[in-house]
Amino acid sequence: PVQNKARVEAAMEVTSDKPATGAWNWFGDKKAVFRPGEYWQPHQKVTVDLHLAGVQAAPGVYGVQDHRIEFEVGREQITEVEEDAHSMTVERDGEKVKDFPVSLGMVTTRKYTTTAGAHLVMSRERNVELTNGTLGVSKDDPRYYSEIADYAMRISWSGEYLHSAPWNPRVGEANTSHGCINM
């Protein structure tokens, strides 16, 4: 576990073909993620130099070697969701690719509201189990549900996904989900 986060951050350097400012964000005390202030410019190389050899991460804990990570930013893909129109538009490199009818979270209950603002796709899963057990509903409660969603893309650690929802007859008409974006 890293206790000296500022020291470790100072030893990590991110450079890109098209310079970007950003900051490190810690998830617990073992994982740091760099997020640029704006979206990465597409189609460029990024290098992460971890100058950690000899850096004290915690009392008695030191980095043993440096490490370099190189990657290329892919295409630009921006998806915009219009809550009132129950629609989602996908653009790639500035060109419209597709429109989808969607259903967002019910605003009748705060915990079922889809959060607004910019989101990043954190993972893609072929199948994911969605359950309101994560919201405190027990399996013996008649309101309990468990569904397998295909083509799920996580957009938050609190359980929000974009996913298929063949069980939702109101996709494109009304916001009836428990916070996810149904397609």
List domains and CATH numbers for the chain.
5-73 (2.60.40.3710), 77-182 (2.40.440.10)
For range 157-164, the mean pLDDT: 90
Question: Using an 8 Å Cβ cutoff, are 72 and 47 in contact?
Answer: no
**Residue 135: pLDDT over 80:** no
Predicted local distance difference test score (pLDDT) of residue 157? 84
Average pLDDT of the chain?
A: 93
In this predicted model, which residue has the larger pLDDT, 133 or 44? 44
What b/e sequence results for 128-143 when a residue is b if at least 16 CB atoms lie within 10 Å of its CB, and e otherwise?
A: bebebeeeeeeeeeee
For range 12-25, the mean pLDDT: 95
The pairing of strands 181-182 and 161-163 is parallel
Helix (H) / strand (E) containing 162: strand 161-163
- Percent residues over pLDDT 90 in the chain: 80
Q: In what order do the strands lie in the sheet with 146-154?
A: 123-131, 146-154, 161-163, 181-182
Predicted local distance difference test score (pLDDT) of residue 107? 81
How far from each other are the two terminal CA atoms of the chain, in whole angstroms?
A: 40
Predicted local distance difference test score (pLDDT) of residue 165? 94
For range 49-66, the mean pLDDT: 97
Predicted local distance difference test score (pLDDT) of residue 15? 96
Per DSSP, the three-state class of 17 is: coil
Q: The whole model's pTM is what?
A: 0.72
Question: Using an 8 Å Cβ cutoff, are 159 and 134 in contact?
Answer: yes
Q: Which of the four pLDDT bands, split at 50, 70 and 90, describes residue 108?
A: confident
